[in-house]
């Protein structure tokens, strides 16, 4: 019950708005997962070149961290003049920048964990640089990269709610509706759905990591 004696969740309202929740959830997933995908596509090449040419890593790392220090709402507002109020890129571009501050260091750390004897063995077996990267170095780096991917995915699912203030936001629209009408049910539903999405995708990434690193399970099972 709230201060007025009304129930915090009106289940009849929830039942009447299931279609709305489904639509907002789809929007939320697109706005939150697209930055993670784009961030990964950018971070992997940046990480590879930063390991190959070590002098490049400090400025790349500094630039990624600089993006992360800018408040998300401020970046959303700045993007309005470029992408417009109704464009999903108003949220996607800043969120992609935020993911880089986590993904780039994780890719670099993961690749640096590859032992030199492993690289040398792959080269001795006739692996070229690209083949060695794809078949040896990146698979070994998967656990560290996936750790960063989990952080960025959960963060993006949460942060995208703020984008409702610039015309986007997915489930964040429920917060605005609840606040404007002094009606807590949409706010609670939004919090629950966002939390569930974060938990589900975190679990999916854990499963994906186990599937991508079968040797880790074998090693743990060895007495």
Task: For residue 76, give the CATH number of its domain.
Answer: 1.10.3720.10
pLDDT recorded at residue 108: 93
Q: Is residue 2 part of a domain?
A: no
Task: Choose among 88, 141, 151: nearest CA to 119.
Answer: 141
> CA quadruple 88, 48, 135, 144: dihedral positive or negative?
negative
Q: Is it the case that residue 166 has pLDDT exceeding 60?
A: yes
Q: Is residue 6 part of a domain?
A: no
Q: Is residue 218 part of a domain?
A: no
Token representation of residue 118: 């492993």
Q: Is residue 72 part of a domain?
A: yes
Q: Cα–Cα distance between 62 and 116 in angstroms, integer?
A: 27
Q: Is residue 42 part of a domain?
A: yes
Q: Per-residue pLDDT tens for 171-218? A: 889 888 888 888 889 999 999 999 999 999 999 999 998 888 876 665
Q: Cα–Cα distance between 169 and 149 in angstroms, integer?
A: 21
Q: Mean per-residue pLDDT for 109-128?
A: 87
pLDDT recorded at residue 222: 46
Q: Is residue 58 part of a domain?
A: yes
Helical ranges in the chain per DSSP H: 11-16, 18-52, 57-69, 72-83, 89-112, 116-124, 129-132, 138-159, 172-180, 184-212, 214-221
Q: Per-residue pLDDT tens for 55-101? A: 888 998 888 888 777 777 777 777 877 776 668 888 888 889 889 98
For residue 35, what are the domain limits? 11-212
Q: Write the CA distances from 137 to 44, 116, 159, 163, integer angstroms.
A: 12, 10, 32, 37
pTM of structure: 0.86
pLDDT recorded at residue 219: 54
Task: Choose among 156, 161, 154: nearest CA to 202.
Answer: 154
Number of independent structural domains in the chain: 1
Token representation of residue 17: 């708005």
> CA quadruple 22, 28, 151, 57: dihedral positive or negative?
positive
Q: Is residue 4 part of a domain?
A: no
Q: Is residue 172 part of a domain?
A: yes
Alpha carbon 46 to chain centroid distance?
17
């Amino acid at each position: 019950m709230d201060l007025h004696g009304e129930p915090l969740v009106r289940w009849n309202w929830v039942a009447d708005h299931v279609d709305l929740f489904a639509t907002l959830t789809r929007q939320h997933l697109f706005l939150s997962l697209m930055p993670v995908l784009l961030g990964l596509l950018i971070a992997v090449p940046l990480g590879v070149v930063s390991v190959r040419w070590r002098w490049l890593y400090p400025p790349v790392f500094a630039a990624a961290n600089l993006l992360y220090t800018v408040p998300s709402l401020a970046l959303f507002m700045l993007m309005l003049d470029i992408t417009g109020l109704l464009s999903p890129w108003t949220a996607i571009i800043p969120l992609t920048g935020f993911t880089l501050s986590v993904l780039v260091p994780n890719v670099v750390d993961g690749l640096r964990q590859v032992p030199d004897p492993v690289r040398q063995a792959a080269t001795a077996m006739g692996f070229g640089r690209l083949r060695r990267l794809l078949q040896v170095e990146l698979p070994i780096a998967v656990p560290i990269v996936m750790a960063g991917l989990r952080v960025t995915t959960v963060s993006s699912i949460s942060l995208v709610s703020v984008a409702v203030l610039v015309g986007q936001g997915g489930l964040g629209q429920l917060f605005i509706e609840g606040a404007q009408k002094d009606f807590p049910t949409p706010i609670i539903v939004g919090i629950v759905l966002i939390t569930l999405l974060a938990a589900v995708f975190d679990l999916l990434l854990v499963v994906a990591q186990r599937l991508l690193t079968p040797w880790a399970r074998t090693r743990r099972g060895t007495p």
